[in-house]
Amino acid sequence: MYPESVKPPFVGAWSKDQIFIRLDGRGNRIYYPGETLAGSYYLNEIRLDSIDSLEFSVLWRTEGKGNEDVGVHAFWRLSSQNGDWIDPLQPGRFSVVLPQSPLTYNGVIVKIHWSVRLRVFLSNGVQLLEETPFYLGDLPDMRTLKLFTG
Amino acid sequence: MNERFSPLPGGNPFSTRFTAPGKAPFFFESSYIDRIKNFHPNKFAEFFFSTVGAGEDLRHVVCLRFLVDQFISHSCRGQIVGDHGSGKSSLLFYLKDVLVKQGYDLFSWSLHDQNRFLPESFWMELQKFLQKTPVLLPTNFLLPPPVMTSEEYTAQRREFLKEIFPDRDFDQEAARSDGGETEEEFRVSSTESASRSPDEVVDAKTESVEGKAAAPKSVGVFGFNSAGNFGGLPSGGTTDLGSLGFKKPSEPIKFSAFPDTETLEAIANDDTEDYDDVELTATENEDSSESGYNGDDVSQKTLEIPFNFDVEKKRAFFDRKILVFDGFEQLSFANRIIIRTFCRMNHLGLLLTSHAPMIGVPVLFRTIPSVSTIRQLLDFLLEDYEEFKIGDSEVETLLKNFHNDVREMLFSLYDAFESFRLAPADLREKIIRRYPR
C-alpha cells in the first residue's frame, strides 16, 4: 500500500512472513545482563539462489519525542559472494552474550528497546527485514511504579 | 519458544521513530491529484501507467513524480513553502528519494534555529561534494581555498584528471616531472609563441635567461595557485619575471586621475610593450597531454581549456548536481541571495524548504495540513492500536489548537497515548475525549 521506502511502524510486518526469529529460553523474553541469548531464524518462500547476503544484529534503540539513538551490540554478515553458505531450508542459529547495559527501560519521555534484527538482501535488490524484541533486565515500568507508589 | 511478531508493549506510535521524515508517508490531498489529472492529463497518464504494478501507493508516487517533473522543468529550481510542522521536511525526503533514483547528485544541508550564516563546515562539505568537477569549472573560482596539504591537493587533481582523460597515464608523467625533465609551466603565450611547439617555447625561455636571445613578446600569467584558486602571479612566487619577458620600466609609472589626450596617444604609440597581443593559450587535449600536467606542479599550471571536451556532457555534469536546503528561512537575506546566486552561476540545482517563498525560486508545493491528510496519517500510525481512536472532530480541534502544527500535535498525542496506555479501561475513553487540548 505504501512506498517501499516507508517503513511500517511495527515489527513483524516488514518481511511479509518470510522471516521468522525464535528466541530460546523463557517465554517472557526477559534476559539478564551477562546471560546468553540464543535462538534461530527461518527463511520461508525464499529460493537459495535469490539470497545475496544476510545480516544479523542484536541492537538497542531509544524511542521518544527526541532523536532516535541506536547501538549495535553484535553483528554478523553472511554473503554468498564471499562463499558463505546460506541455506533457506535449514534454520540458522545464533548465540550472543548480552551486555550489562543499557537495560530495557519504559519511561514516559524516553524508552530503551532491545531487539534481534535480521535483514536479508535478495539478488533482485529487495530487502527483507524482521525484528523480534526482548527485554534486557526487568526494570519496572516507571509509570506503573508511580501509580502504585502514589 | 516465544510468540512471534508481537510488538513491544511499551511502544508509542507517536514517537519520532515512527513520525520523523521518511518514517511515515507524506499524504497528499485528493484534490491535488485531481488537479494533475485535469491540467496535465498526459503527464498523469505517463506517471500512472508507469507506476501501476510497482506495488506502491499510486497517489503518492504520481504526485511525487509530478513534483519532480515540475522541478526539473524549472531548471532544477524549486521550493516547498509551509508553516512550522506542516510536513515540508517529509515531502522533501521523498522528493530527494525520487531525485536520487533518477540519477541526481544531492547535497543536503539542514538549518536549525538561529542559523543565520552558513558555517565553515558547510563550505568544506560542499567542496567535497564538488570535488569531481573538472578543473576548469567555475566552481573553483567561488569556493573558499581548501584546507589541505599540497600533496593531498595534487593527488586529488590527479584523480580528477584521470577521470576526465582516462587515456593518459598521469602517474608516469608525474614521475617524469619529478626527474626534472620539464620546467615550471607558467606559460608564456603570445601570437608568436602559440604557433611554436612547446619545446621551442622552453628553448626560447632558456635562451632568454642566458641572455642570448630576445625575450618572448607578450606575457599572460594565469593558473591555479597552491590553494586551488585561479589567479595571476603567485604571491611571493619564484617565477623569474625576466625569463618570462617582462621588461622593467625605465621610469616610474605616473598615474593621473584624468589623463590628457597626449598621454593616451603616447601610450598608443609606445612600441616597447606588446600587451595587445596577449591571449591565453588554448590547446587540444592531445597537446595538453605533453605539457598539461607535471605531477606536483599541477596546481601551478597554465589554464588549458580542452576544446574537444564534450560540452553537452559538461552541461549534463553541471545539471545533475542539486543543493538541497531544509529550513532556508533561517538564513539571513544576504546569505540567501549568495546561495541563490552561487547555484545560478555554477549551474547547480536548488531545492529548498522555507516558511515564506524566496524570490526567484518557483514554488513547487505549499504544505497545508487538513483533516483528511491528518486522518490518513493517524490511520497509518495507529494501524496496530485500534483501541486508540481519534475522531475527525478531535483532529479538527487539534489542528485548530496547534495552529496547523502537526509536529506539536503529534507530541501532544504522544503524551495522550502514554496516559492512555496505563489507564484503566473505564478511564481510557475519557482520556481520548479529554484530548485535544
- Mean pLDDT, range A66-84, rounded to an integer: 88
In this prediction, residue B95 carries a pLDDT of 92
B140 lies in a domain? no
Interface confidence, given as ipTM, is: 0.74
CA distance B204 to B215: 7
Question: Chain B, 19-38: which have a CB under 8 Å from a chain A CB?
Answer: 20, 22-25
Identify whether residues B218 and B327 lie together within a single domain. Answer: no
Contact between residue B303 and residue B223 where contact means Cβ atoms under 8 Å apart: yes
Identify whether residues B249 and B393 lie together within a single domain. Answer: no
By C-alpha distance, which of B361, B376, B360, B372 is closest to B396? Answer: B372
- Mean pLDDT, range A78-103, rounded to an integer: 87
Report the gap between the CA of B46 and the closest CA in chain A (Å): 18
B1 lies in a domain? no
Evaluate the omega torsion of the peptide bond into residue B249 and state whether it is cis, within 30 degrees of 0: no
CA distance B378 to B388: 10
Cell 491528510: give the residue.
B373
Tell whether the model's pLDDT for residue A109 goes beyond 80.
Answer: yes
Identify whether residues B419 and B325 lie together within a single domain. Answer: no
Catalogue the E-assigned strands of chain A. Answer: 19-23, 30-31, 36-43, 51-64, 70-79, 92-97, 105-106, 110-122, 127-136
Boundary of a domain, candidates B278, B308, B338: B308
In this prediction, residue A71 carries a pLDDT of 93
Identify whether residues B288 and B252 lie together within a single domain. Answer: yes
Contact between residue A31 and residue A81 where contact means Cβ atoms under 8 Å apart: no
Identify whether residues B169 and B291 lie together within a single domain. Answer: yes
CA distance A120 to B130: 34
In this prediction, residue B291 carries a pLDDT of 42
CA distance B79 to B103: 20
CA distance A59 to A43: 21
CB pairs under 8 A between A and B: 99
CA distance B17 to B10: 13
Identify whether residues B358 and B386 lie together within a single domain. Answer: no
Buried b (16+ CB within 10 A) or exposed e, B277-291: eeeebebebeebbeb
- Cell of residue B108, nine digits: 543536503
A28: closest chain B residue by CA: B2
The sheet with strand A92-97 has its strands ordered as: A19-23, A36-43, A92-97
Identify whether residues B202 and B214 lie together within a single domain. Answer: yes
Residues of chain B with C-beta less than 8 angstroms from the C-beta of A65: 15-16, 411, 414
CA distance A81 to A88: 16
Identify whether residues B175 and B303 lie together within a single domain. Answer: yes
Q: Percentage of residues in chain A with pLDDT exceeding 90?
A: 29
Boundary of a domain, candidates B367, B382, B407: B367
Residues of chain B with C-beta less than 8 angstroms from the C-beta of A66: 16
Identify whether residues B165 and B262 lie together within a single domain. Answer: yes
CA distance B418 to B10: 9
B25: closest chain A residue by CA: A6
- Which DSSP category does A81 fall into? G
Between the CA of residue A129 and those of A52, A105, A134, B251, what are the distances in Å?
14, 24, 17, 82
Cell 595534487: give the residue.
B154
Tell whether the model's pLDDT for residue A62 goes beyond 60.
Answer: yes
Q: A125 CB near a chain B CB, below 8 Å?
A: no
CA distance B283 to B194: 9
- Cell of residue B283, nine digits: 590547446
B6 lies in a domain? no
DSSP H or E stretch at residue B411: helix B406-422
- Cell of residue B267, nine digits: 601610450
- At B276, give phi and psi (nearest 5°): -65, -20
pLDDT digits (tens), chain B, 437 positions: 333 334 455 578 898 888 888 888 899 988 898 889 888 888 888 888 877 766 567 788 889 999 999 998 888 899 999 998 889 999 999 999 889 888 888 889 988 877 788 888 888 888 878 765 544 444 444 454 455 666 777 787 788 788 777 777 777 776 666 554 444 444 433 344 444 444 444 444 444 444 444 444 434 444 444 444 444 444 444 444 454 444 555 555 554 444 444 555 565 565 554 444 434 444 444 444 444 444 444 444 444 444 444 555 555 555 678 999 999 989 988 889 988 888 888 778 899 999 999 888 999 999 999 999 999 899 888 887 877 878 888 888 888 888 889 999 998 888 888 877 777 666 666 666 666 55
> 3-state DSSP call for residue B436?
coil
DSSP H or E stretch at residue B82: strand B77-82
CA distance A132 to A116: 5
Identify whether residues B287 and B165 lie together within a single domain. Answer: yes
Tell whether the model's pLDDT for residue A2 goes beyond 50.
Answer: no
Cell 506542516: give the residue.
B86
Instruction: Pick B13's closest partner by Cβ from A9, A64, A144.
Output: A9
Evaluate the omega torsion of the peptide bond into residue A9 and state whether it is cis, within 30 degrees of 0: no
Total domains present in chain B: 3
Range of the domain at B270: 150-308
Cell 545533475: give the residue.
B320
Q: A16 CB near a chain B CB, below 8 Å?
A: no
Residues of chain B with C-beta less than 8 angstroms from the C-beta of A63: 11-12, 15-17
> 3-state DSSP call for residue B291?
helix
A69: closest chain B residue by CA: B17
Identify whether residues B156 and B60 lie together within a single domain. Answer: no
B135 lies in a domain? no
By C-alpha distance, which of A22, A75, A17 is closest to A46? Answer: A17
Boundary of a domain, candidates B288, B308, B328: B308
CA distance B347 to B342: 8
B8 lies in a domain? no
Identify whether residues B230 and B297 lie together within a single domain. Answer: yes
Report the gap between the CA of B122 and the closest CA in chain A (Å): 22
Contact between residue B97 and residue B25 where contact means Cβ atoms under 8 Å apart: no
Residues of chain A with C-beta less than 8 angstroms from the C-beta of B1: 22-24, 27
Q: Could you tell me which CATH number the domain at A19-149 has?
A: 2.60.40.640
In this prediction, residue B54 carries a pLDDT of 63
